[in-house]
Amino acid sequence: MYSVTKNQFKFALILGTITCAIFILRVNADIESSIDLNTETFMDDGEIQVDSVNGTRVKRQFGCPSNCYSSCQSTYQCKIYSPTVQCVRGCCCPSTVDLDTACDGGVAVAACINKLCGQGYFCSNKNYCCRCSAGKEAGPCLFNSTEKYCPAGYACNTNNYCCPLGSGSALTACSANGVCPSGYICGAGNLCYPVSGGK
């Protein structure tokens, strides 16, 4: 059996460590040069943004405003990647909407994700989670023992908030004799409300 002295073992360990270090440095140098080569192919002067979060580079499209990247045809395409961006002149840009007024003047709790919101909120047509699917809510519905009430022009929605008529809570005006379609009842403002909704 072959035996190794302590000095031979130390020498082999040092030699192996140096070999590994050289290999790692060469691999890193090859990767960096290939990234730089690919990037230079597509670079326009000053058009590369470096994402400080993960170190990736993103090419800004020709004609995009500052801080806007990736081409788009609609805001929906941008929101697939991030709910807080919108399509501006064919580029995905950060939204400038204030959540305090995003729900037609009312407060939004967040942006919708895949058209979904947390319980008690609806995804508005502007892609924000609001108490009403359209328009600004007028506060919670008022209750008595059998009915729900809202101010004129509002109806109680399924989450017991007063939402503007036409946002899905009230159907149409009552007929001349106070008749509404099946499942609806004539209520405040001579409008048809869902039987479970309120007046």
Instruction: Dig out the tokens for 81 from the structure.
Output: 């990647």
132 touches 120 (CB < 8 A): no
Q: What is the full per-residue pLDDT of the chain (199 aa) written as tens digits?
A: 567 788 887 887 787 788 867 767 665 555 554 444 333 333 344 444 444 444 445 555 556 777 777 778 888 888 777 777 888 878 888 877 678 888 888 888 888 888 889 888 888 888 889 988 887 888 999 988 778 888 888 888 888 888 887 766 445 667 778 888 788 788 766 777 777 644 4
Asked, for residue 102, whether it belongs to a domain, the answer is: no
What's the pLDDT score for residue 71? 78
Domain boundary among 39, 67, 96: 96
DSSP state, residue 82: -
Domain boundary among 96, 123, 155: 96
Q: To which residue do tokens 């709790």 refer?
A: 109
Helix (H, G, I), strand (E, B), or coil: what is residue 113?
A: strand
- The residue segments making up the domain with residue 176 are 142-194
Asked, for residue 130, whether it belongs to a domain, the answer is: no
Domain boundary among 61, 96, 131: 96
Asked, for residue 133, whether it belongs to a domain, the answer is: no
What's the pLDDT score for residue 199? 47
What's the pLDDT score for residue 43? 37
Helix (H, G, I), strand (E, B), or coil: what is residue 104?
A: coil
Asked, for residue 54, whether it belongs to a domain, the answer is: yes
Element (H, E) at 25: helix 6-42
What's the pLDDT score for residue 2? 67
Asked, for residue 117, whether it belongs to a domain, the answer is: no
Q: To which residue do tokens 């609609």 refer?
A: 74
Asked, for residue 4, whether it belongs to a domain, the answer is: no
Strand partners, 103: 106
What's the pLDDT score for residue 41? 36
What's the pLDDT score for residue 46? 41
What's the pLDDT score for residue 49? 44
d(CA 81, CA 99): 19
What's the pLDDT score for residue 1? 57
Looking at the structure of the chain, the number of domains it has is 2
Element (H, E) at 26: helix 6-42
Alpha-carbon Rg for the chain in angstroms: 31
Asked, for residue 28, whether it belongs to a domain, the answer is: no
What's the pLDDT score for residue 197? 47
Asked, for residue 81, whether it belongs to a domain, the answer is: yes
